[in-house]
Structure formats: C-alpha cells, structure tokens
Structure 1
C-alpha cells in the first residue's frame, strides 16, 4: 500500500476499531502514549487523528455502559457513590489513562493551537494547500481530517474535564484562555449556523466552562475567578447563551451550562464581586443581558422539570437572578 493510499485509509471512518474487550486497557495505553504535538496536517498529525478517533470511540463505549452493573470492570463498586475517576461506577478507560500518562494538558494545548490555526483563514488555507499536495489528498478529505481531530479530541477533553481530579492536574490558565478564544470567535462570527449536535468546539467548550465553574472552589478559586474576569469569559458565555440556547442547545447541554452557572452563583467570592466580571461596574445593559438567561436558558429547563430535581440543582442561579432583578 503506497503512502497516499495508506493515509486515505487511515482517515476512513471504517478504519480498524478496538480489539477484543480484554485488550482494551492495554490498547488504550498504547494509543494515549502515542499522543504528541505535531504540525497540523502532516503525516504524523494524520496518524494521531486516527488514534484520537479510536480513543473517542472507547469513550463512547464506556458512556454507553454507564450504569451497567453486569460490566466486569464496574462490578462491586458502591453504586450509592459517584466515586473518583478510579473507583466510580462507570469505567472511563480512555480518560483515566490520559490522566495517568499526564497527557491532559498536552491535549488541551493541541486543541488550543488547532483552533487558533483554524481561526486564521490565511494560514489555514496555506496549510491545507501544502497538505493536499504532499499527501495527494482531496480538499474534502483534508477537511474531514480536521473535523475528526476536533471532534475526537474535543470529546476526550469534555469527559476529562468532568472530573475534578483531572482539572487539578490541568493548565487552568490555558483552559480559560482557550474557552474565551472559542467563545469570542463565536460571538463575532457565528450567528445562525451553529450546530450543537456535532461535538465541535463552538458548543463543546460550554461543557468545559461548566466543569470549571462547578469545581472552582476545589481548585485555586481566587485564581480561577480572576482569570475568568480578566478574559471576559462570563460575558462571552452569556452572549452565546442568549444567541443560541433556545433554538440550538440540546437539553443535556442546556442543563449542564445552567448547572455550571448555578455553581458559580453559589461561589461566595463570585457572589460578592459580581460586577467586576462585567467591565468592573454595575452596567445596566450587562445586568439585563444576564437577567435574560432566565428566559433563554432557565425557564425551558424548569418547564420540563417533572420531578423538580432540576429546580433544586438550579436554585442558586434562580435565587441570584431574583436578587439581581430587584437590584436592577
């Protein structure tokens, strides 16, 4: 098989998948250890994309088995406790291996650099042209590789950041910078064409932000809040919600975002310094924008809340909105 054919095969969605279940941990470790930071659309980067796609499939497999008491690698655990990444009821093999091999911050750096490249139209076009010539790839195939890289790595990071143990080992300043970069680009360039169903960074960073807000007090809380404020992350998040939540957020995404905001509103340091997160003053327009979250995000979730469990989770957010409305 020549190099061009091998590359096309490697990028194909029908490329070989994981082997028998007994070899999953061993295979996963090999895939994770192969993760290195390569220039975009080089042969090494394309090979990496295949590995990331296989790891993302393992993540999907693990999530599909969540709550399966018969699964051999989760049997015997305390079902009443969520546990840690290592003893929780769901075995997240790929995520656990990423943490054990100290690859999470590297993956974050790779994603951040990829999106910075992706947003630079001139550099992106030049890189695509070189790759198409070097690897005898059609433009559609090169674009497919970029999409696969972003989706696969994005899902791995989403599941990794769901765990406080992972965030404690992550480059938090870079995470905040990355989320702000993506949300700022969305704010300036994405209007009606947002597709929240395809696991691209335009929406999946919302899960990252939610996890960051949820676990801020278990991290360096003052540092997290300071960098959140300095990067204008909260106004960018509010803008994204106002523009897209009602029509384009799937229910699980909307709930996760609202849950993260509820945790932020329950954070005492945020509660007492709210105005500093919006240009350092109690700006009426920005306050009104924040209050609009009740209509665009919270109300639809509460309307669908049959057993009132969602209402309990979102209480810090709804209480904060009520207090803010009186103050406004």
Structure 2
C-alpha cells in the first residue's frame, strides 16, 4: 500500500521538487499552492501526512492547520511544516497548534524522507490499535479522584513511605501498577542525549500517576520521588476495570491534544524564549500546580524543569525578586503578581 502525502507550497519549483522526491520514494503525492487549496485537497485526497510551507498567500500554513484541526476526519492527520530559519515565531505557533514536526529550509532530501518515514510509522501504529485499546489509556482524573470505588480500593491497600530520590519507574520497566500519591512530590523526566535531565511533569499529592504507562508497550521516562512521599500501589487490573465500569473515559483526541499541547508549548518556550520568559512561564505553571501557595522545589529540579543551568536560574530568580514579582524564603518561591508574570512570556 502506498502512503498518500499532500504537499502545500506556494513556490512552484519547490513544490514540484518535493513531489518528485516523494514520488521517486514510492509515495502517492498531490500538491496545492496555498492553504485554501490545501484544505480542499486534504478533504478530497484524505492524505496520510501533510507537508506544508508556513508563509503562503491567501491562507498560510498556520491558518490551514487551525481549520484542519476542526475537521474530525482530518484532525489527527500529521502535518510537518517547512520553515525558514527566520520564521521561528511561526514555528512556535505551529507547534503550539499541534503540528507534528518542522524542517528548516533549505534541507537535504534524506532529511525530509527520514522525518516523513518516522511520522508515518508512528501514526500507522497508532491507527492500528483498536478503539477500545486506545481509549483505555484515557481518563478524567478529577472525576477519578472523587470516585467512591477508587477510594475503597485505596483504603484497602496500605500506604508506603518512600524517601527522596527513590524511583517509581524507569524506561521500559514493567507497567503493571498505577500509583496513588497521597502526599509528597514526584517528578517525571527523561534523560537527554547530552546526559541532562529534562523534567516533563511534577505531581503533587493527592494525585493518580502512571495510568498512561500501563497502556504503552514502551516508554522512556523516569519517575522519581522529589519530596518524601506516601504512595499506594494499585494493580493495573483494578484500574482498568474501574475506568470501564464507572464511565470515566474521555475522548482520545481531547486527551492527547491536551497533553501534547502543553508539552509542545513548553518545548517552544524552552527553544525560543529568553531566560526571563522561560522562568516566568514555568513559574506560572507551578503557581497553578501548587494552588497559589509556596513552590517548594529544589533549585536543581526547578532548573531542569526550566531547561537551564542552576546558576542562570538563580540569577533570574534574584532579578524577579528585585522586581517584586516573587518572594524567596526558606519555604520556597511565592508568586506575588501572577498577572505580571503571565505578561512576561
């Protein structure tokens, strides 16, 4: 079976060159010269993947992406942007909207083909899963925490006191357990090629953590106790049965869009924001997570979360303190003016 690819590019020579590269590589390809024609072509052609320029007349790539994501039949179609180096703000907006990847122009044919192949493999595997299998990893956490059946399960299992720096899971470990974090803080992170940790999430008790991991054949994250925690380990079978019986599932598209949207926004801030923007953005996220109270995280963890060196973070925290935007005490960091912090990024 040939994969179908739509190429949306207003430069005729560029569009035809890309189409030729893809046709030689045994893809079925059609082209469109702007976003309006691209939307119509996508609806008629039903591509497996879209490659699109950002800057185009009539309707640009960002506008096209917004409209495609409102179309139920096309909202999950992966889109790769072609972006000039000078268009970093447009790339950032595109990733926030849900674009799958981007390639900087000019590019080598092999780089384009490699990115396309990876995305097609990823989405083919996702689509091959049955709807029930996909939906089982999707849950409404706020409803789950209030569920009386879950509370009975939690009450029947003794809690374990787990010390700081202990691991709950690591890459490719067996995923047969879901954790109820009664109190304490857990951080989830990945280890980069450069050997530095990048913190994806913080969890503050009470919280349910690890549900999505039990439905993944492979995962690449670590979960580590950041502050002494009380943990209850719940068997996978109990959670699966509970989610299905209690009707606690939400739409797969809604769930993944929420998760990926948050992560893509963070990645774009970390890639293109200056130090002040990065720190203010992450302080705003943590202010919400800690419900407006003191943010009590180590400087090392906060630096990994912001994607910068500890010394750089400390200098910026001092600057924000001098600007009377935050308070620094032995209890942690207190945001004093969340409106001003939000306006900084």
State whether TM-score is above 0.5: no
Greater gyration radius: 2
Higher share of residues assigned helix: 1
Higher share of residues assigned strand: 2
